[in-house]
Amino acid sequence: MTTHVLPARSEIAPEHTWNSPSLFESHAAWEAEYVALSDAVPTLPSQFKGRLAEGPAVLADYYDTFYALYIRLGKVYVYAGMFSEVDTADQQAAMMEGRAMGLFSQLIAGISFAEPELLAIGRQTITRWLSEESRLTPYAHYFDDLFRRGEHVRSAEVEEILGLVSDPFGQVPNTASQLANADIKFQAATMQSGESISVEQGNVARHLNSPDRQLRRSAHESYMDGYLAFKNTFASNMIAAIKRDVFYARARRHTSSLEAALFPYNIPEEVFHNLINTFRANLPTWHRYWDIRRRALGLDRLALYDGWAPLTGSSPTVPYTQAVEWISAGMAPLGQEYVDTLRRGCLVERWVDVYPNRGKRQGAFSSGWKGTLPFIMMSYNDTLVSMSTLAHELGHSMHSYLTWKHQPAVYSDYSLFVAEVASNFNQAMVRAHLLKISAEDRNFQIAVIEEAMSNFLRYFFIMPTLARFELEAHERIERGEGLSSDSMIDLMAGLLAEGYGGAFEADHDRDGIMWATFNHLYANFYVFQYATGISAAHALSQGILDGKPGAVDNYLSFLKAGSSLYPLDALKLAGVDMASPAAVEKTFAVMAGYVDRLEKLV
């Protein structure tokens, strides 16, 4: 019996790994900078605490000093994470990342005096200072937002404590990641031929896309059973995360964890509920898709692992370089500068850590900091779905690249709410290009639509379902009720049963442990923003594909805005109003169109 095993990290060619030397030439160079920052960070409070009211020059000096440290520390943090993410068994890297996180927490705790002092100075004085000190001019939106948030900013002492607890609370998602990526040892899966193949975080998605149903079933059961073996540990950790969210909400005097998650970005709670209500109203579209998929696969009942199965026997092979070419062609409407930057990042500057290896953490993400490259981690596997994942992460990275290029440090980040727009936008644009160039190739058309539905499955089905799970779990804790591994499995299994309808054969415990496989749930009310993001993305991409006047310039202005605008305002600048459910409804209509097209093709 043959066994297929992923390569070790040391076997991956350097040109296929991300460019860590662009930050520090060696761990020793990183250590020297860490030591220097360890000496510098504690001096910030002693320089400025109690002095911000002295005048605009002192306040400007404070921001210059803080953001210089902030950018340097970001490079230290990003570099440490680059090694632990691709080899979760690397204990030295784990220690480096922990040390960087601790120092960052110390920096945030050290500036806890600043916002209470600014609120005490008052809006009128701060407004006058903006006209007196040019270095403060870029902070106008920040100050306006600060006074909006004023009632939820606590005293300097409380703010210091809230800053300090971010370090120990940060261990909660780290624990989940270590457990999932380093400690769980998944049983090998079995192919229809009898061959054995390893199941790892880096290859399970490929197994679930296999035409071999025995492999899909075996890999899925191995994967979910790995999580079920630690269900009580995962549950304890998730409960800790939920209680962390409730603690922060109450410490800042919010009425709920949901309000606490949305208030900093000036997003009404109705945006969340609009999504959930529209999702539930459109479940019949999903039920119709499941039935088409079931019939196309020739099955009496679908299982969860059939959701990604190919519907033809000729899924295209897409090498990494071909993926870059197709993505570049799809993004051509945004202009040559955008495309040249993207290609250079993929093929020259080594933004991307491309291929899977043993110990590489699950999933894909874009990361970095102002002053670094916009790095991408993924496990590319020569499929259309993997190409789409690359396009998705490049959307994030180009968003970061343009934000860092055009915004000062204070606005060099952007909210999760807008982050998922740029990523899904890229996928929609590339998908439209592929459908256009393959009009005469039925199998390729089916493969592209399958990829689209795979993306919708993740972002427009699983993520809203996880959001419903997240809301109910938080509300139970807020009401003083208990949670356990079994109650969370029951909740998740019930929500999935509603979403899948009668087409699926339930596997209660394996279906119900799905929540444990998503580290996204450790970020307070993050997952629903994938669904709002894909909605805004399709609305904006359609405008550009239709040649709407000004659509390209408006979208690029959105990418350059960073956090200099509130998320809803930034999206209005791009051309979509997410305060209304219209974009969500429109995107369900787009998905229904794919379902119609797929039914005719298969």
**End-to-end CA separation in angstroms for the chain:** 35
Instruction: Answer yes or no: are the C-beta atoms of 162 and 86 closer than 8 Å.
Output: no
User: What are residue 365's DSSP bridge partners?
Assistant: 377
State how far the Cα of 38 lies from the Cα of 23, in Å rounded to an integer.
18
Catalytic residues: 393
For residue 3, report the phi and psi dihedrals to the nearest 5 degrees.
-120, 130
Q: How far is CA 426 from CA 108, 351, 381, 511, 542, in A?
A: 34, 17, 19, 30, 12
Token pair 């998602």 is found at: 173
What contacts 354, CB < 8 A, 6 or more positions away?
16, 17, 320, 378, 380
Chain-centroid distance, C-alpha 74: 18
Tell me 311's DSSP state.
Answer: S
Instruction: Answer yes or no: are the C-beta atoms of 280 and 584 closer than 8 Å.
Output: no
User: What are residue 376's DSSP bridge partners?
Assistant: 352, 366
User: What are residue 196's DSSP bridge partners?
Assistant: 3, 190
Crossing angle (nearest 10°) for helices 123-132 and 140-148: 180
Q: How far is CA 557 from CA 330, 368, 569, in A?
A: 19, 21, 12
Amino acid residing at 114 = A
Q: Is 184 helix (H, G, I), strand (E, B) or coil?
A: coil
Q: How far is CA 153 from CA 115, 148, 413, in A?
A: 7, 10, 21
Q: How does strand 3-4 pair with strand 196-197?
A: parallel
State how far the Cα of 352 lies from the Cα of 345, in Å rounded to an integer.
8
Tokens of 109: 């705790």
State how far the Cα of 601 lies from the Cα of 598, in Å rounded to an integer.
5
The DSSP code sequence of 128-173 is HHHHH-GGGGGGHHHHHHHHHSGGG---HHHHHHHHHTHHHHHHHH
Tell me 459's DSSP state.
Answer: I
Edge-to-edge strand ranges of the sheet holding 365-367: 352-353, 375-377, 365-367
Tell me 8's DSSP state.
Answer: P
Instruction: Answer yes or no: are the C-beta atoms of 163 and 109 closer than 8 Å.
Output: yes
